[in-house]
Amino acid sequence: MEGLDYAFKLISKKRYTSKELQEKLEKKGIDPEPIINRLKELNYLNDLEYAIDYKNKKQNEGYGKYKILFHLKNKGISEDILNNLEFSNSKLEEIFLSKIQKIKDNKKQKIYAFLINRGFDSSDIKNLIYKYEDKL
């Protein structure tokens, strides 16, 4: 199958979503459909596993649900998969408390902006600000 060797070369170096691999193959002028189907059959290409691994990695790096979903959507992960991912806010409080130490003034606004940018839910952030009001 034309292009299968190229696809194997790509996936041996880095994980791809179906959409990302499709774009790479199309750039080379290769019909991606049969190759992607074959790689899925062999379980070398699995968007669900990719999404779960990516989510876990980014959560451990301190990113929130909304930022992770945004990136996965841009990588071509289907709405079905995105809707079934489960997120935790286990890192939120840890990040919040470390930011309190580093920020000198306007703590509430700066921490809120930082955590929103990281993709955490605004109500969860507000609850933490309220909980630690005396430290701000």
Domain boundaries, the chain: 4-41, 47-84, 92-135
What pTM, to 2 d.p., does this model score? Answer: 0.88
Percentage of residues in the chain with pLDDT exceeding 70?
99
Predicted pLDDT at 39: 96
Predicted pLDDT at 90: 87
Q: How far apart are CA 8 and CA 127, in angstroms?
A: 48
Predicted pLDDT at 101: 87
Mean pLDDT taken over the chain: 94
Kindly tell me the burial class for residue 83, based on how many C-beta atoms sit within 10 Å of its own C-beta (0-12, 13-18, 19 or more).
exposed
Kindly tell me the burial class for residue 135, based on how many C-beta atoms sit within 10 Å of its own C-beta (0-12, 13-18, 19 or more).
exposed
Containing 23, the helix (H) or strand (E) segment is helix 18-27
38 closest CA partner among 25, 29, 51, 50: 25
Name the phi and psi angles at 115, rounded to 5: -70, -35
4 closest CA partner among 23, 32, 26, 29: 32
Q: Averaged over 74-90, what is the pLDDT? A: 95
Band the pLDDT of 1: cuts 50, 70, 90.
low
Predicted pLDDT at 107: 83
